[in-house]
Structure 1
Amino acid sequence: MATQPPLVGLAAALASQPPTRTVFAQFSLVEKVALVTGGGRGIGLEVAAAFAEAGAIVYCLGQSKQPHDDFVAAQEFVAQMPPLAENVKNGRMVYISGDVTDQKQMWKVAENIVATEGRLDICFANAGILRAGADCLEYSAEDFTEIINVNVNSVLYTAQAAGRQMEKLGIPGSIILNAGLAGSISIPKQTWVAYTTSKSAIIQMARPMACELGPKGIRVNTVSLGYIYTKMTKQFLDNQPGLMKEWSSQNPLGRLGRTDESRGVCLWLASDASTFCTGSDIIVDGGHRAW
């Protein structure tokens, strides 16, 4: 039986507890430890910085041996923040290098984090790749396999790595898988059969994992972000004049999302503010699927 959280909100009021502000505390990640793959740049780095700002120790796994300048800037920015509270340690970011497509290596990464920090509470399986692709009737086996290996297999390995440690330590952790817009719909005029397949697989992967791990107190959810303007998407858009305008017109807000607009939903899923949410796909797409 999972440990019941302290009374908050209406329950605290009806129990005549002294009035205290708990709504912001529910989003706190103080003393929690997180693993973020693809954490060296882009959305992964943005979310990792948010976790650290909320008080977590965040291990950011990237493919390169040395961190990108973006990571160094974010790490220093977080380190210079004022204290969260008296006698409370601020969060921090740690860069580690690894291969997300190596199952045993990912399991070892999580083991090493626990050996150092004593716990692992949060996992954001975010690493993924996007290729220009090819016509669905001509898509090569090699290219298709590469997309599936990075975008699907590695997500399983990462979730396994974190989940194994959470189960071992009895931690009611949160595992978040980065799916995306392409997991639910086709992207107009793009030959993305492999990428779309991979993102759809992630959404479905989370559901049985949530059912299996729920009794252990471990939650599993997916985040489906719409078009987010990152350095990766910028490179893709720059090669196709007019595509930025076209993509912007496909949602009611009339623009692409910013990387910082991924922070709130991931922080919510990582924190105690979402303790009754599991097996869900949280859509943050500027209303793209509301038309």
Structure 2
Amino acid sequence: MRGLPHSALRITRASHVSRATLPSLTYTASRTFVTTTQRPAPAQSGRAPPNPPPSDIADAATAFLGTKKRLPEFSLTDKVVLVSGAARGLGLTQAEALLEAGATVYALDRLPELSPDFHTIASRAEKELGTSLYYRQVDVRDVVNLNKIVTDIAEKHGRLDGLIAAAGIQQETTALEYTAEDANRMFEINITGVFMTSQAAAKQMIRFGKGGSIVMIASMSGTVANRGLICPAYNASKAGVIQLARNLASEWGEYNIRVNTISPGYIITAMVEELFKKFPERREAWPKQNMLGRLSGPREYRGAGVFLISDASSFMTGSDLRMDGGHSAW
């Protein structure tokens, strides 16, 4: 207990007295404390909690939601959500989570070949979850085609409820060696692409008058500089995404459109595993830079995406949800 005064140490030791022998304090409106006798806690039976009543159990079509009445604000049933950059990686993981919450999901990506996982998830959505995962090939820099695709999707369903903008690129180059061409490409995809995708979605949300939620994948690198990782343009682009979200939230709030960002820490992906082959020292150094002493996996951000798209976050906009294991809180 280094750094604590002796009096604090004595209080800590005294706290080991059984709570059943101590009085509790009730704070009253008159700002006085009244002592009452605290009842002992009931003994733990060790039994599992009872099953919900039959009337509360979801039917087969919505079984993935557990029950009809528990935390309904997380349900995305009948919602239509876009996810850019969802052919693989973090974007595809987010798409799967949205499907499990009941949404119909459209994955947008420029890749002509989808990962095998995409087809597996699409099949599961159809056979097990009672919903659908679709793919539309588009580069977020192709604004005309992007708007056409988003408009067609909204017209087909008569609504557009959400967007997770996860499309982005990374390039590790020192600031003295970065070319203007590479920097412009980074900003064009990571900032302008996110902006234009959000704009296309917002136009349809406004058109159908149902509002919606837009989530942009930023990064802890938009707030802090990464020690030992040389990526000035990438970090600047993610800082731009965080600021972009605040401004869009301020403009589109009147249309009941919420705009937030998720800022992940280091995530172990196939691309990062390849990076570790080139820089093996990072596999050991990076986990030591956060408070949990490990790196994250894509699945650890699933709940955040569903939370921000769903009504569970209905009063949250213009915010950055930083999930970096405490990396930037030291």
Amino acid at match of 1:39: A
Percent of pairs with identical residues: 40
Report deviation, 1:23: 4.6
Q: 1:37 aligns with which of 62, 79, 84?
A: 84
Structure 1 or 2, whichever has the larger Rg, is 2
Q: Is the 8 A contact 1:207 1:279 kept in 2?
A: yes
Question: What is the SS of the residue equivalent to 2:134?
Answer: strand
TM-score by length of 2: 0.77
Q: Which residue of 1 aligns with 2:42?
A: none
Q: What is the alpha-carbon distance in structure 2 between the residues aligned to residue 121 and residue 177 of structure 1?
A: 15
Give the counterpart letter for 1:33 in structure 2. Answer: V
Would the aligned equivalents of 1:29 and 1:271 in 2 still touch at CA under 8 Å?
yes
Match 1:94 to one of 121, 131, 134? 134
1:48-74 C-alpha deviation (Å, 9 max, x unpaired): 000011111100012123422121122
Task: Tell me by how many angstroms 1:266 deviates.
Answer: 0.7
1:137 aligned residue (176, 192, 216): 176
CA distance in 2, matches of 1:70, 1:146: 28
Matched to 1:165, the amino acid is Q
Give the conservation status (yes or no) of the 8 Å contact 1:206–1:221: yes
CA distance in 1, matches of 2:69, 2:237: 39
Structure 1: distance between partners of 2:267 and 2:113:
25
Verify: 1:200 aligned to 2:239, yes or no.
yes
- The 2-side partners of 1:138 and 1:238 are apart by 23
The residue number in structure 1 matching 2:161 is 121
2:190 to 151, 154, 167: 151
Runs of 4+ displaced beyond 6 Å: none
CA contact (8 A) 1:32 1:121 kept: yes
Residue of structure 2 aligned with 1:254, choices 288, 293, 314? 293
Report the counterpart of residue 322 of structure 2 in structure 1. 283
Q: State how far apart, in whole Å, the 1-side matches of 2:295 and 2:124 are.
A: 25
Q: CA deviation at 1:22?
A: 4.6
Distance 1:214 1:267 in 2: 20
Equivalent residue runs for 1:212-251 within 5 Å:
212-251=251-290
> Are residues 1:265 and 2:312 paired?
no
- The answer to whether the Cα contact below 8 Å between 1:102 and 1:157 also exists between their aligned partners in 2 is no
Distance between the aligned counterparts of 2:281 and 2:70, measured in 1?
43
Which 5+ residue runs of structure 1 have no aligned equivalent? 1-18, 84-89
Cα drift, residue 238 of structure 1: 2.2
Aligned to 2:23: none
AA in 2 matched with 1:226: G
Q: Which amino acid aligns with 2:142?
A: D
Match of 1:63 in 2: 110
Residue 121 of structure 2 corresponds to residue 74 of structure 1? yes
1:255 and 1:231 map into 2 onto residues whose CA distance is: 17
Cα distance in 1, alignment partners of residues 270 and 229 from structure 2? 19
Indicate yes or no: 2:215 matched with 1:176.
Answer: yes
Q: Is structure 2 residue 149 aligned with structure 1 residue 109?
A: yes
RMSD, matched Cα: 1.6
User: How many angstroms apart in 2 are the aligned matches of 1:114 and 1:172?
Assistant: 13
What residue is the counterpart of 2:60 in the other structure?
Answer: none
- What's the CA shift string for 1:106-154, capped at 9, x where partnerless? 2112101112222110100110011122x21231101111111111110
CA–CA distance in structure 2, aligned partners of residues 43 and 287 of structure 1: 20
Q: CA deviation at 1:95?
A: 1.2
Q: What's the offset of the Cα at 1:182?
A: 0.7
Partner AA of 1:44 in structure 2: G
Question: Which amino acid in the other structure matches residue 37 of structure 1?
Answer: S
Whole-Å Cα distance in 2 between the matches of residues 66 and 288 of structure 1?
A: 35
The offset of 1:104, in angstroms, is 1.8
Q: In structure 2, what is the Cα distance between the partners aligned to 1:217 and 1:177?
A: 17
User: What's the TM-score, normalizing by structure 1?
Assistant: 0.88
Structure 2: distance between partners of 1:53 and 1:169: 25
SS at match of 1:59: strand
